Amino acid sequence: MQQLPNVTFTAAQLRDREVAGEIARKYLLPQAARHDRDCSFNEDAYAAAVEAGLFKTWIPAEYGGSENGVLGLSMVVEEFSKIDPAFGVAFAVNALGSFPVIVGGTEAQKRKYLPKVASGECSCAFALSEKFAGSDAGGLAVRAEKVDGGWRVNGEKKWTTNGSRAQLITLFAVTDPDSRSRRISAFLVENTDPGFSIQKVEDKMGIRMVPVVETAYDEVFLPDDRLLGGTPGLGFKHSMMTLDLARPGVAAQAVGTAAGALDLATTYATRRKQFGAPISSFQMVQQMLADMGMQTEAARWLVYAAASMSDMAVKPKNITKYAAMAKCFATDVAVRVATDAVQVFGGYGFMEDYPIAKFYRDSKILQIYEGTNQVQRLVIARNLIKESGALDYLNGVIPTEVQETFGANAEIVNA
């Protein structure tokens, strides 16, 4: 069984977390409600994050980054999300959009784009989902056809977070419809490319500050140097590698959301009086707060462990399983804690006058984007089955560790 890494924090990671917390208190706390109500982007907080160098967090040092890795990214996202979960994703989506360049880009592509991401000059988005291809990433319909000197792209992408602000969009399109393993390729689209447009800005239940849009590609010509990695057919591989790195960031957003909701509920419970006493003195409320605290803390350390695994020089074989576990568990916790926090607030929790209503609305998307939690459970289960050697049983082979435990004559029973 894979041993989890020891989670250790560098001085740079701790410093960035502290800076993120300061930005959150100064720019998110007083503005979050207004930006949520107006569906407007918090440019002040974004500019402060750029000035503080926080967009360098996940970028390798040779491209202008601070190389604090996925763990450093998770710590910053958690701090932002404690105050405004929407800004947590507004920040993290830049990692999602640039991770494909880090894991699959050519050296020229890395040197062209990553320093601009690190400096905050280039905002990013990730265009994978379509109207009829959400969890089924292999069912994409957007086409990229080879032409002289490059590729011609046509189609529409759905739910592109930050798509209307991004200068760089990592686009996944079908380049070989007859292939099963190399059907999809990834491309680097710039928002100034002719034929690229924003078709619709979604009206969302939560995370209303960050734009989620429908992007369209009408005869968009991309030169050969915009094909990620320079080789067609690697798009599915690039997307899966990216999501393994990005899912701890979503999970960190969930941890921050849960922690923020818990803070609000605890503070409210100590001030709200019923029957002549603060409701925090009631055992039922104490049980709710205790459960919320345990769940949040458990999620936090699972996220930190998965993020630390992502930062290992040699990625463990089961990094996909742990990334899925962190994303699934933490986001389920965020929804559960936000729901219980609303219950602690009682009738006031249902009113937009109090910030807990926003945390409740913001939490739900966490179980859906970057892989629904139903799909995450499938990923986890399949990895567990594979690790157990169950596939060997199906082929009539008894694993050595089973023979050592139960004897060489252990039988294969068909259920």
Q: Which residues contact 59 (CB under 8 A, 6 or more apart)?
A: 65, 66, 67, 98, 102, 114, 115, 117, 118
Half-sphere exposure of 231 (CA within 13 A, CB side): 10
Half-sphere exposure of 409 (CA within 13 A, CB side): 0
Chain mean pLDDT for the chain: 93
pLDDT digits (tens, 9 = 90+) for 17-35: 999 999 999 999 999 999 9
pLDDT at 1 over 60: no
CATH homologous superfamily, domain 237-388 = Butyryl-CoA Dehydrogenase, subunit A, domain 3 (1.20.140.10)
Q: Which CATH number fits domain 124-233: 3.30.70.1060, 3.40.309.10, 2.40.110.10, 2.60.34.30?
A: 2.40.110.10
| pLDDT band (50, 70, 90) for residue 6 | confident
Average pLDDT over residues 196-217: 97
Sign of CA dihedral 400, 405, 406, 407: positive
What confidence score (pLDDT) does residue 41 get? 98
Rounded-to-integer distance, Cα 289 and Cα 344, Å: 9
Sign of CA dihedral 55, 59, 61, 62: negative
What confidence score (pLDDT) does residue 412 get? 42
Let me know: does 5 contact 305? Beta carbons within 8 Å.
yes
pLDDT digits (tens, 9 = 90+) for 164-182: 999 999 999 999 999 988 9
CATH number of the 11-119 domain: 1.10.540.10
| pLDDT band (50, 70, 90) for residue 411 | very low
Portions of the chain given CATH number 1.20.140.10: 237-388
Rounded-to-integer distance, Cα 361 and Cα 325, Å: 23
Strand (E) or helix (H) holding 64: none
| pLDDT band (50, 70, 90) for residue 334 | very high
Q: Kindly report the backbone phi and psi dihedral angles of residue 189, in degrees, each rounded to the nearest multiple of 5, phi listed first.
A: -105, 135
pLDDT digits (tens, 9 = 90+) for 291-325: 999 999 999 999 999 999 999 988 888 999 999 99
Catalytically annotated residues:
370
| pLDDT band (50, 70, 90) for residue 342 | very high
Count of CB atoms situated within 10 Å of the CB of 381: 12
- Dihedral over alpha carbons 173, 179, 182, 188 (to 10 degrees): -20
What confidence score (pLDDT) does residue 406 get? 47
Portions of the chain given CATH number 2.40.110.10: 124-233
Q: Between residues 399 and 318, which one has the greater pLDDT?
A: 318
What confidence score (pLDDT) does residue 404 get? 52
pLDDT at 53 over 60: yes
Among residues 82, 76, 112, the alpha carbon closest in space to that of 95 is found at: 76
| pLDDT band (50, 70, 90) for residue 138 | low
pLDDT digits (tens, 9 = 90+) for 239-298: 999 999 999 999 999 999 999 999 999 999 999 999 999 999 999 999 999 999 999 999
| Distances from the Cα of 414 to the Cα of 300, 355, 394, 396, angstroms | 40, 55, 9, 10
| pLDDT band (50, 70, 90) for residue 5 | confident
Portions of the chain given CATH number 1.10.540.10: 11-119
For residue 121, what is the DSSP state? S
Q: At 135, list the tokens.
A: 């969890």
Q: At 197, list the tokens.
A: 């447009």
